[in-house]
Structure 1
Amino acid sequence: MDIDLSSPKYHSDGEGDQPPDDLLPHSKRAPDDVFLTHLNEVYNRYVDKDQHLISLPKGYTMYYCNLVIHGIRQSDGFRSTHIFGHPKGSYRCWKEFAVHVASIVKGDLKNCACSLCVEREPPDLLKEEEKEVKVKKEELSD
């Protein structure tokens, strides 16, 4: 089954973002056909179906970002892939982006379970410390 994500049928929340100014000089936009090939591979593993995405979701782009250490751009061997466009940030993990694309295909972005859509609270370190203190007090009282 072919899926045309550029169709109005599929609502994309992509905002057409690009790397931030400090990363932009060290980044190179990946061609859309390369982006689409990678996305198809990961997406089909995620949904466990043989679907063919024939276009990218609107507003999303893939960049290769080179690592910069002390102001020196490293070689292409030290680069990471970033997918830009999501209102809350960029993806560095293809599987997380595939989760988001599956929500676009289902027409259910409101219930998307990707890491950028789901609000995750940071771990409560204070409560963890309190538990450790209680355990130590109990050990001492024995």
Structure 2
Amino acid sequence: MAKVDPKSSAPISKIDLSDPMYHSDGVPGHQSRDMTREDDASFLDCLSKAFNNTPRLFINKPPRDYASFIRPETYDDGQRVDKFIYGHPSGMSYASLTSFAEHVLSIIKGELDNCTCVNCQGVPVPQPRADS
């Protein structure tokens, strides 16, 4: 799980994003078939790190029907693993946990109708490359 500075005096807020009190707008099944679903613990660890400037630790499960998918890709500078977050009702993925964190904040605040994330605003985001 996410590492926390032991010298920090701020208490850690544990947030279970799968709790029904956080109305998730996630819709499963938009990812491409050649992707591998990342386990929820790794997804939450990375999301906690992307979200945090304060001590918050996301626990249990991500928002309902959201999942992280990974796919190895070869680029001119070498091979790396690309990560995409799926579940948004638009069918678009999030290409970074930082952009997804903005949507998570809207879920936590119960303000999905006013969410300013790239997917809710309809901003085109990079999608996974098509299989060759």
TM-score of Structure 1 vs Structure 2, range by shorter chain: 0.7 to 0.9
SS at match of 2:101: helix
- Residue matched to 1:3: 15
- Residue matched to 2:115: 112
Aligned pair count?
108
One-letter amino acid matched to 1:16:
P
Q: Deviation string for 1:86-135 (max 9, x for gaps)?
A: 011101121110000011111111111100001459xxxxxxxxxxxxxx
Cα RMSD for the two superposed structures? 2.2
- Residue matched to 2:64: 58
Using the TM superposition, give the Cα deviation of residue 43 of structure 1 relative to its aligned residue in structure 2, in angstroms.
1.1
Instruction: Report the Cα distance in structure 1 between the residues aligned to 2:44 and 2:62, rounded to whole angstroms.
Output: 6
Instruction: Report the Cα distance in structure 2 between the residues aligned to 1:38 and 1:78, rounded to whole angstroms.
Output: 16
Q: Deviation string for 1:42-98 (max 9, x for gaps)?
A: 011xxx3222211311101111123389xxxxxx92431111100111011211100
Unaligned 5+ runs, structure 1: 70-75, 122-142
Using the TM superposition, give the Cα deviation of residue 10 of structure 1 relative to its aligned residue in structure 2, in angstroms.
0.3
Runs of 4+ in structure 1 off by over 6 angstroms are none
Q: Indicate if the aligned counterparts of 2:73 and 2:79 stay in contact, CA closer than 8 A.
A: no
Q: Indicate if the aligned counterparts of 1:16 and 1:85 stay in contact, CA closer than 8 A.
A: yes
Using the TM superposition, give the Cα deviation of residue 2 of structure 1 relative to its aligned residue in structure 2, in angstroms.
1.4
Q: Percent identity?
A: 35
- Residue matched to 1:38: 46
Instruction: Indicate the structure with greater helix content.
Output: 1
SS at match of 1:42: helix
Over alpha carbons, which structure has the higher Rg? 1
SS at match of 1:62: strand
- Residue matched to 2:24: 12
Unaligned 5+ runs, structure 2: 1-12, 125-132
- Residue matched to 2:130: none
- Residue matched to 1:86: 88
